[in-house]
Amino acid sequence: MQGELAVMNDTGDTKLIWSQGNADEVAAAREMFDKLRKKGFVAYSVKGRDGEKNEIIREFDPASERIIMAPPMQGG
């Protein structure tokens, strides 16, 4: 099974795909997740292609179908 990490940024989004059975890919996705969380990004676990079931997560789960990382909100 594959997972997808989508990072929202000023150019749209960047995707990182991992296979649950590939330790190197899982480690790269976990590293990216942790790096972005430290920068204040909010992570959402999304289930299904229509994204109907989502929730905020605070830890990387390699069994996730899809994770969306949104940048921190900026006030003004």
User: How far is the C-alpha of 21 from the C-alpha of 23, rounded, in Å?
Assistant: 6
> How much of the chain, in percent, has pLDDT values that exceed 70?
88
Residue 73 has pLDDT above 80, yes or no: no
Can you name the residues that pair with 54 across neighbouring β-strands? 46
Map residue 45 onto helix, strand or coil: strand
* Alpha carbon separation from 19 to 11, 53, 65, 70 (Å, rounded): 26, 22, 10, 22
pLDDT at 52: 64
The label of the residue with tokens 């990004």 reads 41
pTM of the model: 0.86
Mean pLDDT of the 34-41 span: 96
Predicted confidence at residue 11, as pLDDT, reads 78
Query: How far is residue 75 from each of residues 8, 13, 56, 72, measured CA to CA in Å?
Result: 18, 22, 21, 10
- Average pLDDT (37-59) is 86
